């Protein structure tokens, strides 16, 4: 248990003691204890606003809460504890504590920050799940970067996590895909045809049709329209899905499970509707079957089976989520576009109607991405005239910059993506700034090796007394707590921000404290500190799916 965990445990124990003595009222749930590194040294080594966050819960003034907490805190590892401002609690550690903590961190090496495996938490994260009818665009890219980073983050926090892509390979969008390819195929062969009203107009559809011709010439003309559409549905779906997987893999995104919607039709959809009918959660009206979703908080009831007997998208989604629940996950996380906001209530209503806990399902909404070049909004792809694709973005700025920029803002905020900044090699570019810190650390180790300086577990870490050294140590030691907080809040952007703050602390240390050319014991201690900073930068960039180059 590191110092951050000790302080948090102490605060939680102090709350319990005060509750037992009836100083605090007993409450069902209290706010989480969050520790921060104060911006100025005089405010201590660690600080928390817990007293202010819990004021409404305990119906007490924050300062009074802070005073009662301090009375119960064990001072074994603390020099003092003070109350500041409206109720901040500042903790001042005993001088030897951070050195002991740093020594333990160094022993863990690159595993520092990874929590022990918790086999009881089985989490599924489903994300991207774009229709396989065309290339991924930048909006999908944000979801892909966020989702894969969240999976990495939850795993680092000790959870068992399974990532899943739901392939929408049934329904009208796939029929429209086949019809669009068919129309382009006929056009390319000189046959007049009407393009389908809901067809896909992208350049990729023309390219698919041309590849069919290049491979098989006009053999499909001998088929009936129905036979040709059936054949093109499979050919186009296979091709689009292959390209989609290829683009995601190039973006460092990989899924454990690819779930086909087709596997739900017709048996699973019928079975789930039968259960809902049995539970009296479905009624018939005008020949259609309706879910009583208003009884579970929706603004109106929803059709699940149309009057012609064809299931709606909702019917398949209900069957899909039942399948998820039945797989035994303790938590389900869906990452959807912001335009799906109204859909959350319907799915949760259906889960309640099936007898499941809707609280087990968390839906995170992805806000829009706007691309800017030279200060101007970029709306269209130069190549196709359509939306800018993920592949085009990667080609322009690279995987690392694209992923970092997508992740560095919280998911619920709109993202203005500056293409010029993402490509720049300067300290203004956050990903370049962090990667440069890691490359600089690698360079230090190469120089130290040439000078015959090595660092081992016997180094005297108490030689690290400069303000920049202490600040860097504190930042490093706060990393496991940052992992836990970010995982709890589904907030990989916190790791991106942490990596930037750590890089800033390292650059300050580097500019102030020489490693080569000082006494050997001090050089060894500083080398150990630099190495630990490098380990944490590497670990944090791994979570973000961003590389750690040794040279730049």
- Which residue(s) pair with 366 in the sheet? 337
- Which residue(s) pair with 207 in the sheet? none
H-type helices in 116-224, by residue range? 138-156, 172-188, 203-216
Distance (Å, rounded) from C-alpha 191 to C-alpha 547?
A: 50
Helix (H) or strand (E) holding 421: helix 419-423
Helix (H) or strand (E) holding 475: helix 467-477
Distance (Å, rounded) from C-alpha 54 to C-alpha 64?
A: 11
In the chain, ranges of CATH 3.40.50.620 domains: 123-168+256-366
pLDDT digits (tens, 9 = 90+) for 349-365: 999 999 999 999 999 99
- CATH class held by domain 123-168+256-366: alpha beta
**Cis omega (within 30 of 0) for bond into 266:** yes
Least confidently predicted of 17-21, 264-268, 271-275:
17-21
Q: What is the pLDDT of residue 278?
A: 96
- Which pLDDT band, with edges at 50, 70 and 90, does 93 fall under? confident
- With contact defined as beta carbons under 8 Å apart, do 517 and 450 qualify? no
- Across the range 488-495, mean pLDDT stands at 97
Q: Is the pLDDT of residue 14 over 70?
A: yes
- Which pLDDT band, with edges at 50, 70 and 90, does 384 fall under? low
Kindly report the pTM of this predicted structure.
Answer: 0.90
In the chain, ranges of CATH 3.30.1360.70 domains: 3-94
**Which tokens in the block code for residue 49?**
């606003």
- With contact defined as beta carbons under 8 Å apart, do 102 and 532 qualify? yes
Q: What is the pLDDT of residue 79?
A: 87
Across the chain, which distance is largest between two alpha carbons, in Å? 88
- Give the strand order in the sheet containing 331-337: 257-260, 159-167, 118-126, 331-337, 361-366
Coil vs helix vs strand at 241: helix
Residue 428 φ then ψ, to 5°: -75, -25
- With contact defined as beta carbons under 8 Å apart, do 533 and 502 qualify? yes
pLDDT digits (tens, 9 = 90+) for 286-333: 999 999 999 988 889 999 999 999 999 999 999 999 999 999 999 999
Average pLDDT, the chain: 93
How wide is the angle at C-alpha 474 spanned by C-alphas 467 and 410, nearest 5°? 120
- Which pLDDT band, with edges at 50, 70 and 90, does 43 fall under? confident
Distance (Å, rounded) from C-alpha 246 to C-alpha 391?
A: 10
**Which tokens in the block code for residue 180?**
């669009």
Q: What is the pLDDT of residue 381?
A: 63
H-type helices in 290-389, by residue range? 313-326, 343-353
Q: What is the pLDDT of residue 473?
A: 95
CATH of domain 3-94: 3.30.1360.70
Q: Is the pLDDT of residue 72 over 60?
A: yes
What is the pairing mode between strands 118-126 and 88-93? unpaired
How buried is residue 464: exposed, middle or buried, by Cβ count under 10 Å (0-12/13-18/19+)? buried
Q: What is the pLDDT of residue 106?
A: 95
Residue 389: which residues within 8 A CB-CB, separation 6 or more? Answer: 135, 136, 137, 138, 247, 381
Query: Which among 50, 40, 59, 39 is positioned nearest to 7, based on CA atoms?
Result: 50
Q: What is the pLDDT of residue 316?
A: 97
Q: Report the topology of domain 427-544.
A: Isoleucyl-tRNA Synthetase; Domain 1 (1.10.730)
Q: What is the pLDDT of residue 279?
A: 95
Q: Is the pLDDT of residue 157 over 70?
A: yes
Residue 443 φ then ψ, to 5°: -65, -40
- Across the range 272-294, mean pLDDT stands at 95
Q: Is the pLDDT of residue 383 over 60?
A: no
Q: What is the pLDDT of residue 387?
A: 82
- For 447-474, give the DSSP string: HHHHTT----TT--GGG--SHHHHHHHH
pLDDT digits (tens, 9 = 90+) for 412-441: 999 999 999 999 999 999 999 999 999 999
Q: Is the pLDDT of residue 457 over 80?
A: no
Q: What is the pLDDT of residue 385?
A: 56
* SS3 of 247-280: HHHHCCCCCCEEEEHHHHCCHHHHHHHHHHHHCC
Helix (H) or strand (E) holding 89: strand 88-93
DSSP letter (8 states) at residue 43: G
- With contact defined as beta carbons under 8 Å apart, do 135 and 207 qualify? no
* Total Cβ atoms within 10 A of residue 169: 23
- Which pLDDT band, with edges at 50, 70 and 90, does 1 fall under? low
What is the pairing mode between strands 78-84 and 118-126? unpaired
- Give the strand order in the sheet containing 78-84: 35-36, 46-48, 88-93, 78-84
Q: What is the pLDDT of residue 464?
A: 96
In the chain, ranges of CATH 1.10.730.10 domains: 427-544
pLDDT digits (tens, 9 = 90+) for 99-122: 999 999 999 999 999 999 988 899
Q: What is the pLDDT of residue 382?
A: 58
């Amino acid at each position: 248990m590191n110092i951050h965990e000790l302080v948090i445990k102490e605060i939680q124990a102090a709350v319990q003691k005060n509750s037992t003595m009836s100083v605090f009222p007993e409450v069902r749930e209290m706010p989480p204890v969050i520790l921060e590194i104060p911006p100025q040294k005089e405010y201590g080594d660690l600080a928390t606003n817990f007293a202010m966050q819990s004021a409404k819960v305990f119906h007490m003034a924050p300062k009074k809460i802070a005073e009662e907490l301090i009375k119960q805190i064990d001072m074994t590892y603390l020099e003092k504890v003070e109350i500041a401002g409206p109720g901040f609690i500042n903790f001042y550690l005993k001088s030897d504590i951070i050195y002991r903590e740093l020594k333990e961190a160094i022993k863990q090496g690159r595993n520092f920050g990874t929590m022990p495996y918790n086999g009881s938490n089985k989490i599924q994260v489903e994300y991207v799940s774009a229709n396989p009818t065309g290339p991924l665009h930048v909006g999908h890219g944000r979801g892909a970067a966020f989702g894969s980073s969240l999976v990495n983050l939850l795993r680092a926090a000790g959870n068992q996590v399974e990532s899943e892509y739901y392939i929408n390979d049934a329904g009208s969008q796939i029929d429209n895909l086949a019809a669009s390819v068919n129309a382009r195929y006929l056009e390319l062969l000189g046959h007049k045809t009407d393009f389908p009203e809901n067809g896909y107009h992208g350049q990729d559809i023309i390219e698919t049709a041309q590849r069919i011709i290049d491979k098989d010439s006009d053999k499909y003309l001998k088929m009936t329209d129905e036979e040709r559409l059936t054949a093109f549905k499979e050919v186009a779906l296979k091709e689009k899905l292959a390209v989609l997987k290829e683009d995601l893999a190039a973006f460092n995104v990989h899924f454990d499970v690819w779930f086909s919607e087709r596997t739900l039709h017709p048996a699973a959809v019928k079975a789930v509707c039968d259960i809902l009918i049995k539970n009296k959660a479905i009624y018939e009206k005008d020949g259609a079957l309706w879910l009583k979703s208003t009884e579970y908080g929706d603004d109106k009831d929803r059709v699940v089976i149309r009057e012609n007997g064809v299931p709606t998208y909702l019917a398949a989604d209900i069957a899909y989520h039942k399948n998820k629940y039945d797989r035994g996950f303790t938590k389900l996380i869906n990452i959807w576009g912001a335009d799906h906001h109204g859909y959350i209530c319907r799915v949760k209503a259906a889960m309640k109607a099936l007898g499941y806990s809707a609280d087990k399902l968390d839906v995170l909404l992805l806000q829009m991405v706007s691309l800017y070049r030279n200060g101007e909004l970029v709306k269209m792809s130069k190549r196709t005239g359509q939306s800018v694709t993920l592949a085009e973005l990667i080609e322009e700025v690279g995987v690392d910059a694209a992923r970092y920029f997508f992740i560095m803002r919280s998911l619920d905020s709109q993202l203005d993506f500056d293409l010029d900044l993402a490509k720049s090699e300067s300290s203004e570019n956050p990903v370049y700034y962090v990667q440069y810190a890691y490359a600089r650390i690698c360079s230090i180790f190469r120089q130290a090796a040439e000078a015959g300086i090595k660092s081992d577990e016997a180094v005297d870490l108490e030689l690290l007394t400069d303000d920049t050294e202490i600040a860097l140590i504190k930042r490093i030691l706060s990393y496991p707590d940052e992992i836990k907080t970010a995982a709890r809040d589904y907030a990989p952007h916190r790791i991106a921000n942490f990596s930037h703050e750590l890089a800033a602390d390292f650059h300050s240390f580097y500019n102030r404290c020489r490693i080569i050319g000082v006494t050997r014991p001090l050089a060894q201690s500083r080398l150990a500190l630099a190495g630990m900073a490098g380990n944490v930068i590497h670990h944090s960039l791994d979570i973000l799916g961003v590389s750690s180059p040794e040279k730049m």
